[in-house]
Amino acid sequence: MWLEIIDRYHDSKSFFLVGGEENIIKMTVKKYIPSWWGEGCDELSSTDPIMKSLINKFNDNKLSSIRNPFYSLCKSIVGQQISVAAASAVWNRLENKYNIFDGQFFKSSDLNQLKKIGLSERKASYLINLSEKLKDYNSYDYWNNLNDQEVYSFLIDIKGIGPWSIKMFMIFCLNRPDIFSADDIGLLKAMGKNYFNNIRPTKDEAENFSLKWRPWRTAASWYLWRSIDPEIVLY
């Protein structure tokens, strides 16, 4: 069983292929754009000329969510501390073997197979542990009804889920409007390129600078990421 995103960024739907090469099934998965997106972009454009230029340049798509908590958190674990290309390769192999999108949880017996796919033993263990913790909490509505601090408090105790992963989850799955991660190297690089004369800011400098984008730091982050990598990230 494998799952491949074919068109992640269509206005309202994402297209997936499920099955082996001889048995391909195409299914349509709804994609949700946050209701606040237009307002947030308008306010950022009105207060920040550089951000306005980024919004105008990358106006072909919007942040969206497929509202699948387990899928999102698994992808954030796989992507930790490796390049986008490496993470994509491992993720594709993982989806070739497991139907993560439909909530196929990992078991302890999957450890060796996960390592063969290309995951470190630590990350493989993280996915197995995440499966145990989320098996009764894989509902988008459950997570959407929690505030940011409640989301953080639940996830921070799960091995393999740290502050960066939690913020990516709140951005890409829950679409919370005012999330900013000074721990994200790509975001620091983008801020350096667009605001700091190609000098990467420190985490503290980035955090303080981001306050000008409140309460729409999620949108600002999304456009900054696109300024250094046109490929849209989906968790």
Q: What CATH number should be reported for the domain holding residue 204?
A: 1.10.1670.40
Distance CA 3, CA 234 (A): 14
Specify the pLDDT at position 225: 94
The answer on pLDDT for 52 being more than 80 is yes
Tell me the torsion sign for CA atoms 9, 184, 203, 129: positive
Residue 120 structure tokens = 């470190």
Q: Is residue 216 part of a domain?
A: yes
- As a whole number, mean pLDDT of residues 216-229 equals 96
The answer on pLDDT for 27 being more than 90 is no
The answer on pLDDT for 132 being more than 50 is yes
Q: Give the percent of the chain with pLDDT over 90.
A: 73
Specify the pLDDT at position 1: 31
Specify the DSSP class assigned to residue 17. Answer: E
- As a whole number, mean pLDDT of residues 56-67 equals 93
Average pLDDT taken over every residue of the chain: 87
Q: Is residue 233 part of a domain?
A: no
Distance CA 112, CA 114 (A): 5
Specify the pLDDT at position 30: 82
User: Domain span at residue 42?
Assistant: 37-64+180-228
- As a whole number, mean pLDDT of residues 136-144 equals 94
Q: Is residue 123 part of a domain?
A: yes
Total domains in the chain come to 3
